[in-house]
Structure 1
Amino acid sequence: MKCRRKLAYGRKSLISFSLISAVMVPNAAIFATPPRTPDKTVNCEILVVGGGLSGAATAYEGLLAGRTVCLTEITDWLGGQISSQGTSALDERPTQRALQFYSRGYLELRNRIERKYGELNPGDCWVSDSCFLPRDAHNILSEILKDAEKRGKGKLNWFPNTVIKDLEISADGKIINSAIAIQHQPAKGAAPLNSYTLSQTIEDAYTYADSSRLTKSIIRLVPQQNPKTATKNWYVVDASETGEIIGLADVPYRLGIDALSYLEPSASSTENDPYCPQGFTYTFAMEATKDPQPQTMPPYYPQYAPYFSYELQRLANFDLVFTYRRIWSPKKGQPTKFGGVNFTASQPGDISMQNWTWGNDYRPGTAADNLIYSRQQLQSTGQLQPGGWMGGLRTEALRKGEEKSLSYYYWLVAGTTDSQLGDGVKQPQPNHRLLSGLNSPMGTASGLSKYPYMREGRRIIGRPSWGQASGFGIWEIDISRRNYNDEYYRNTLPADMYRQLRAALAGLEATSVITGQIDPDKALRRTRSTIFPDSVGIGHYAIDFHPCMTETPPEKPGNTERAGERRGAGQAYPFQIALRAMIPQKIDNLIVGGKSIATSHIAAAAYRVHSFEWSAGAAAGTVAAFALKNAIAPYELVDDLPKYEPQLEALKRLLKENGNPTAFPDTSIFNQKWEDWK
């Protein structure tokens, strides 16, 4: 053990958590005095920001480790993707699913879904082996965390309808000392929560003052004092959907497209472009009915109608689209087939959740309409100033995403146009109704999900590491199954970059390629993902793109997807979650989970699905509890790699013993059989 690890956070970051200094490092987020004294102060050992799957998994492992966990969430539902974002269809790969090779908490989630309905797929959908109602997902996760709290003798402080407004960061910029949160509830005489869409309330939610709609409570979240050592240690975990805390704390991150390189050879641009992340989606639920229903055209429908399409001829069938993510089916229909896909026909009473690329995806790709503000935009809008944080999102983009989703519903039931396939393809389907209201599957008056499904947010740049002096990251070539033999890569990449690419993919022959002893095109391409010595979790999914659009506004007639964005799409090998991808630069007690780990734009297209989010959250919760117990900062677990790190190995053993795998079966540099994983 290194001597410095005997300190609470090591000599590299030694500082009292109670220190408050007026002298701050440049660009560090600082604590702004709220307009009134906080209504309460709450002690936490692990502060988790974001109640999605990654945040729930972090809390789950923290509670089982006996820790006091504070969990904040902007909506009133736990679960993110499977609840408040409405994408309650588990994205899984066949081999991993067949082997049930998942984190223990994710397995418990799947088991409880099956127990709730008596089957894993009550929707009889065909996109997944499990489609279910979003409102039930929140209830299931709530019970899972309650049971974990009881079993592990931890304590959960749950803060729904809560946002982080400010951070107090130490004078040297290395420690988050406290956070100020704003929790809201309906003002006296106002409509219940979820009566308004997110675009109508988000700016209010981040404002200290009460309003005609919302009454606010100001909460100061601080480290819990250790009674044995008198130290005040805690960890903050950014499990938010957009990388909110890394934006607020102003740690280095990427957003959108990464520039072309041998690590990202399918990139669509030779320069970084923060304004073209993947599209986001407001999902909604609709029900099949026996009789035609009255349908009201939204006033803004003509603006968005030119965008909508079934996309491909083999998908141009309403029943196929409806059953794709059908989340409830009380009576199974007759087996049918279209475009090579087998499914059961929809029946009255069936409920479908809609999440469609050329439907309710909203895909802005310019600085004039992007949703997630870049660092430059955060600076120009004053959000990096004390008290200026407003969530880091463009409200207008949220509003237009909401309008587009409701317009897509109208297109499904009444539309007769198709932007990609032409006239005569789309037929009206009036025997359906939008499910809206506070008791609807989405739990909102509008019928839209409480929060949009986010496929990509801010992604940290890890700390400098061997082989990646500019900061650790997981890149396209670390996971992609593409062989890169086609002429595009030979002709597009500069010769030196192409040789670097082939060397990086050559596995055991890499040195011979670099030195010129083997022709790059003749080197054997490894058939597995990169193996990370600091892996703390796993995932497997295809590299799946919902690209931004070329022009603004994205619904502009004749608009096209950004050229080259789908080039990197395709199958991926089973992959790992490196601990270095979860450790940001600058701040030592911040851990990143979920979609904001250090991945590239292309790799992020696979590192975003349900089981990955849980695995990353399980790792974050375990790392935080391990660091608190052993008085070691997470970065100290990996700062001597590739040398042997005994504490890192102890952490990995703990993860494995707890049923949280860090590698797929038979992972080895000598195992070249990963093509069998489907």
Structure 2
Amino acid sequence: MTAPPLASADTAAKPSRAADLRCDVLVVGGGLGGVAAALAATELGRHVILSEEYEWLGGQLTSQAVPLDEHSWIEQFGCTARYRQLRDGIREHYRRTYPLTAEARADATLNPGNGLVSRLCAEPRVGARVIEEMLAPALASGRLRILKPAVPVSAEVDGDEVRCVTLRQLDTAVEVTVHATFVLDGTELGELLPLTGAEHVTGFESRDDTGEPSAPEFAQPDNQQAFSWCFVIDHVDGDHTIERPEHYDEWRTKQPPFWGAPMISLTGPDPRTLATLTRTFTPNPDAPSGVADQGKSAGDRELWTFRRILDRANFAPGTLESDVVLVNWPMIDYIDGTLTGEAADARTHMERAREQSLSMLYWLQTEAPRPDGGTGYPGLRLRGDLTGGPDGLAMAPYIRESRRMLTVSTVTENDLSVTLSGTDAPYTTPDSVGVGMYRIDLHPTTGGDNYLDIASRPFEIPLGILIPRRMRNLLPAGKNVGTTHITNGAFRLHPVEWNVGEAAGTLAAFCLDRAVEPRAVQTIPGLLTEFQTLLIKGGAELRWPTVAGY
């Protein structure tokens, strides 16, 4: 079974062959879930090969450049120990290498950017460096090998088992086939699912399929959440206006029916109320931004501080000319097509998404209204040196929705919605492999739907959403778990993706050690208890504590 890869680089060169490789666990895709899976499996003594398409490991945190999106209790509980090691490592990197103010250095919950989206907003390259440090022991021991830049191009399947996966290295066009006992799909789009013939779904399921009141009457597989091509800016003296994008006039006038204004503007729908609002944009404000708390406020009214990743006030005077800000705003949500269709179409949509983002930047530099009555901020500077991607943007598009494997369990809107369940207490499950929490937050879709925002309750992650209905040795390790289009909106964020990957890597190692299949771990009580004990020993939290204010 073969399919062309969704790669950003040219893969048209005739491939050459390299010697086959073998390992216990193959993890395809080095996003947060893939990294967590590799860490867990190698620390349990297994030999792992990890592949990644882009230069940086870490997916949405690094190559996609998006700061950590997390729940309100993250500083106290609600994530795995390894994820907390990642967060602590990012803070320690700034303390170790940056000239912080005394106050910032002493802050146990240092937020380098003081952005209002998260308690920890930082540069994507710092996340990449900390991940490299976390993986260093496994690399030194020989238990881990990393192949990058590489994408899967085919798979050999025997009945319900994946025998091997062939990866193409994008810089050389060399193909290598990896044979593994367990194969984990940690790709951003669930790319192994069609390659292996694993049953999966895309887009909206029907109401009859899921029983969800917010689902449509009929399935809409091509109706998926927008993806975004993010970028980083600061504001300094001089004229840093980029070249006018070729199709700027098209992007400048594009206006979905529910938007209330052209998308390329400061006006658009409030994700939680759907009311049309006009946000502010104030480069380098002097006033402090406050503390991020997604449980109380989205923090997106002032766009400069919303996803700020470096706040100059945290650093010794003269260190930074300007704050540094990530642009991941509604205005760059690309809704004209999906990345899960034909590869040629996906490449076209990627290019158009890049131009949409560059058009937003050009508008900010030339047309955005200023408080003094003028227009444009030519001092806005594109900081591609901090992201390393094409045209000065992030390396990779920010993916919100993947293909999703059909698994033995599925988490639905009825499970998570506060209104439908009649409670804000945590959703519990006897086969928990971790915990998560986020509002069901769906961005506008390729089918023309506005935001869908549903108050949801904390949840335990069922082992059943990691176990395919048919495949025996293929596990999801990212956003491709057994959620629906709707509940994906609560599962797609950083700590849950990491927890899913860590659970998948631990499950693969556990099954290898005991010569059992994943289905047996879920259905045999003794095995399940033993597996959950192993997760807890590794630092996973399987239950939410009792606290006020769920």
Q: Shared fold (TM-score greater than 0.5)?
A: yes
2:311 corresponds, among 329, 332, 354, to: 329
Partner of 1:242: 189
Aligned AA (2:469): Q
Partner of 1:652: 532
1:431 aligns with 2:409: no
Q: What are the superposed Cα offsets for residues 190-229 of structure 1, whole Å, 9 maximum, x if unpaired?
A: xxxxxxxxxxxxxxxxxxxxxxxxx322212113xxxxxx
Residue 148 of structure 1: how far off its partner (Å): 4.7
Point out the more displaced range, 65-74 or 570-579: 570-579
Matches within 5 A, 1:530-541: 530-541=427-438
Q: Contact 2:232/2:383 (CA < 8 Å) preserved in 1? A: yes
Matches within 5 A, 1:236-635: 236-261=183-208, 263-306=210-253, 307-310=263-266, 311=268, 312-313=276-277, 315-319=279-283, 320-331=302-313, 348-357=321-330, 359-364=331-336, 369-373=337-341, 394-416=346-368, 427-436=375-384, 440-463=385-408, 472-481=409-418, 483-484=419-420, 505=421, 525-550=422-447, 561-562=448-449, 566-567=451-452, 569-635=453-519
| In 1, Cα distance between equivalents of 2:323 and 2:15 | 50
Partner of 1:67: 46
Q: Contact 1:100/1:107 (CA < 8 Å) preserved in 2? A: no
Partner of 2:8: none
1:146 aligns with 2:136: yes
Q: What are the superposed Cα offsets for residues 484-508 of structure 1, whole Å, 9 maximum, x if unpaired?
A: 5xxxxxxxxxxxxxxxxxxxx4xxx
- Residues 270 and 166 from structure 1, CA distance in 2 versus in 1: closer, same or farther, beyond 3 angstroms? same
Matches within 5 A, 1:225-240: 234-240=181-187
Aligned AA (1:541): Y
| In 2, Cα distance between equivalents of 1:291 and 1:332 | 24
Aligned AA (1:435): R
Q: What are the superposed Cα offsets for residues 310-367 of structure 1, whole Å, 9 maximum, x if unpaired?
A: 225362334421221111233459xxxxxxxxxxxxx84221110011x111013xxx
- Residues 53 and 130 from structure 1, CA distance in 2 versus in 1: closer, same or farther, beyond 3 angstroms? same
Q: Contact 2:47/2:144 (CA < 8 Å) preserved in 1? A: yes
| In 1, Cα distance between equivalents of 2:390 and 2:396 | 13
Q: What are the superposed Cα offsets for residues 463-519 of structure 1, whole Å, 9 maximum, x if unpaired?
A: 3xxxxxxxx3110111111x25xxxxxxxxxxxxxxxxxxxx4xxxxxxxxxxxxxx
- Residues 52 and 299 from structure 1, CA distance in 2 versus in 1: closer, same or farther, beyond 3 angstroms? same
Q: Contact 1:295/1:414 (CA < 8 Å) preserved in 2? A: no
Q: Contact 1:257/1:267 (CA < 8 Å) preserved in 2? A: no
Task: Report which of the two structures shows the higher radius of gyration computed on alpha carbons.
Answer: 1
Q: Contact 2:229/2:398 (CA < 8 Å) preserved in 1? A: yes
- Residues 462 and 70 from structure 1, CA distance in 2 versus in 1: closer, same or farther, beyond 3 angstroms? same
Partner of 2:68: 90
Helix, strand or coil: the match of 1:57? helix
| In 2, Cα distance between equivalents of 1:258 and 1:425 | 48
Aligned AA (1:534): D
Q: What are the superposed Cα offsets for residues 134-187 of structure 1, whole Å, 9 maximum, x if unpaired?
A: 12211110110113555xx561110111011111111xx2111111111132xx
- Residues 36 and 533 from structure 1, CA distance in 2 versus in 1: closer, same or farther, beyond 3 angstroms? same
Partner of 2:177: 220
Residue 240 of structure 1: how far off its partner (Å): 0.6
Residue 610 of structure 1: how far off its partner (Å): 0.6
- Residues 532 and 427 from structure 1, CA distance in 2 versus in 1: closer, same or farther, beyond 3 angstroms? farther
Aligned AA (2:304): F
| In 2, Cα distance between equivalents of 1:400 and 1:530 | 40
Q: Contact 1:416/1:425 (CA < 8 Å) preserved in 2? A: no
Partner of 1:676: 549
| In 2, Cα distance between equivalents of 1:566 and 1:256 | 15
Q: What are the superposed Cα offsets for residues 279-310 of structure 1, whole Å, 9 maximum, x if unpaired?
A: 10111111110344344321211111123132
Residue 417 of structure 1: how far off its partner (Å): 8.1
Partner of 1:163: 151
- Residues 654 and 426 from structure 1, CA distance in 2 versus in 1: closer, same or farther, beyond 3 angstroms? farther
Partner of 2:292: none
| In 1, Cα distance between equivalents of 2:192 and 2:27 | 10
Partner of 1:211: none
| In 1, Cα distance between equivalents of 2:145 and 2:170 | 16
Q: What are the superposed Cα offsets for residues 78-125 of structure 1, whole Å, 9 maximum, x if unpaired?
A: 0001110111x1111112x14133111111101110100126321222
| In 1, Cα distance between equivalents of 2:156 and 2:176 | 13
Residue 585 of structure 1: how far off its partner (Å): 2.8
Residue 566 of structure 1: how far off its partner (Å): 3.6
| In 1, Cα distance between equivalents of 2:429 and 2:374 | 48
Helix, strand or coil: the match of 2:487? helix
- Residues 268 and 624 from structure 1, CA distance in 2 versus in 1: closer, same or farther, beyond 3 angstroms? closer
Aligned AA (1:258): E
| In 2, Cα distance between equivalents of 1:317 and 1:445 | 25
| In 1, Cα distance between equivalents of 2:482 and 2:390 | 37
Aligned AA (1:130): L
Q: Contact 1:478/1:529 (CA < 8 Å) preserved in 2? A: no
Unaligned 5+ residue runs, structure 2? Answer: 5-12, 96-104, 254-262, 269-275, 284-301
| In 2, Cα distance between equivalents of 1:262 and 1:587 | 21
Aligned AA (2:501): G
| Percent identical residues | 29
Matches within 5 A, 1:202-213: none
Partner of 1:336: none
| In 2, Cα distance between equivalents of 1:595 and 1:633 | 22
- Residues 426 and 121 from structure 1, CA distance in 2 versus in 1: closer, same or farther, beyond 3 angstroms? farther
Q: Contact 1:30/1:167 (CA < 8 Å) preserved in 2? A: no
| In 2, Cα distance between equivalents of 1:126 and 1:39 | 48
Partner of 1:176: 162
| In 2, Cα distance between equivalents of 1:396 and 1:314 | 31
Residue 658 of structure 1: how far off its partner (Å): 1.3
| In 2, Cα distance between equivalents of 1:105 and 1:322 | 31
Q: Contact 1:581/1:598 (CA < 8 Å) preserved in 2? A: yes
Unaligned 5+ residue runs, structure 1? Answer: 1-27, 186-214, 224-233, 334-346, 374-380, 382-389, 419-423, 464-471, 485-504, 506-524, 551-560, 667-672
Q: Contact 1:258/1:267 (CA < 8 Å) preserved in 2? A: no
1:131 aligns with 2:121: yes
Partner of 2:76: 99
- Residues 417 and 258 from structure 1, CA distance in 2 versus in 1: closer, same or farther, beyond 3 angstroms? farther
Partner of 2:37: 58
